[in-house]
Structure 1
């Protein structure tokens, strides 16, 4: 395994605040494959890598600029 630096993981409330979407819309987009999927932390806990969310936002900005 490579020694990779992993950024912070964000829980759902932080993801909602960062991207401006609510829980139901986030999970709808995850299901459609248009939003980064969460990482399972445990039986009832998930989180999103901040890097994946930053890349998603950057892609939206690039699309809007076209």
Structure 2
């Protein structure tokens, strides 16, 4: 029953966001880790240091804006390119 409640809440949250701004999408920690290649501890360590986008809290859930994570990744790639030059 808890899984159904979480799925419903997640679906509701994503629906509201999609209706207000179709370009905004919230993602969970698992997807953040998949996109960045970072482990959970490193994600939260970088947040604490101020070098990673902080999540929005929805109840017990931490959700990140997809575009913020994509921007963070692009910035890391640009830094790498500038260091190589």
Question: TM-score interval w.r.t. the shorter chain?
Answer: 0.7 to 0.9
Could you say what the CA RMSD is over the residues aligned between the two structures, in angstroms?
Answer: 1.2
**Structure with more of its chain in strand, by fraction:** 1
Structure 2 length normalisation: TM-score?
A: 0.69
Aligned length: 62
Q: Which has the higher contact order (CA 8 A, sep 6+)?
A: 1
1:10 pairs with 2:10 = no
Show CA shifts across 1:5-59 (max 9, x none).
Answer: 25111101111111000100000000000010001111x1111000100110010
Could you list the runs of 5+ residues in structure 1 that have no partner in the other structure?
none
Provide the rounded CA distance (Å) in 1 between the counterparts of 2:39 and 2:63. 15
Pick from 39, 44, 47: which aligns with 1:22? Answer: 39
Runs of 4+ in 1 over 2 A off after TM superposition: none
**Distance in 2 separating the partners of 1:10 and 1:25:** 17
Which residue pairs with 2:80 in the alignment?
Answer: 64
